[in-house]
Copies of this chain bind each other. A is one copy, B any other.
Amino acid sequence: MNLSLKLELPSDPELLRVIRSAVKEFAAVTGFSEDDCRSITVAVDEALTNIIRHAYQNRHGEPIDLVCRRCDEGLEFILTDRGQPVDPAKLHGRPLADVRPGGLGMHIIQKIMDQVEYGQVPEGNRLRLMKYWKIRQEGKS
């Protein structure tokens, strides 16, 4: 059955742990394992961190919307911001073999989530993250 929760937060790193705890519990309520809940939380956190750092260039107090939704296929997260749009050429992060600080967020998000889509909507930039139920996930590989 569908279930959704919307969070409206400012781009303030202080709030990240509040959002993480909500995301983790939401994933638990929808039936994901403890390991999955933990990694889903990391992916959403990294996405929020990127919005704060890149879309808003570390400006605090700017609006971010996060919708968490349980649907038939799995768990969906939609993040919307009004900051600078993503530059698709930069989105890939660094090669993992090149060990240096930074450039890891996109790798983490992409490894954990089954779908990662950036887009533009009238409200601003939209990032959609999707995690399938385990059954689907196994079927896909």
Contact = CB atoms under 8 A, between A and B. Distances in A.
Q: How many copies does the complex hold?
A: 2
Q: Which interface residue of A9, A20, A25 has the most chain B CB atoms within 10 A?
A: A25
Given A21-B25, A22-B21, A10 B15 contact: no
A15 B26 CA distance: 7
Nearest to A15: B5
Interface SS of chain A: helix, strand, loop or mixed? Answer: helix
B6 A8 contact: yes
B18 A5 contact: yes
A94 B122 CA distance: 51
Nearest to A7: B7
A24 B21 contact: yes
Interface in A1-45: 3-10, 12, 14-15, 17-22, 24-26, 29
Nearest to A20: B25
Contact of A3 (B4, B12, B20, B22): B12
Contacts of A25: 17-18, 20-22
Nearest to A70: B14
A46 B126 CA distance: 35
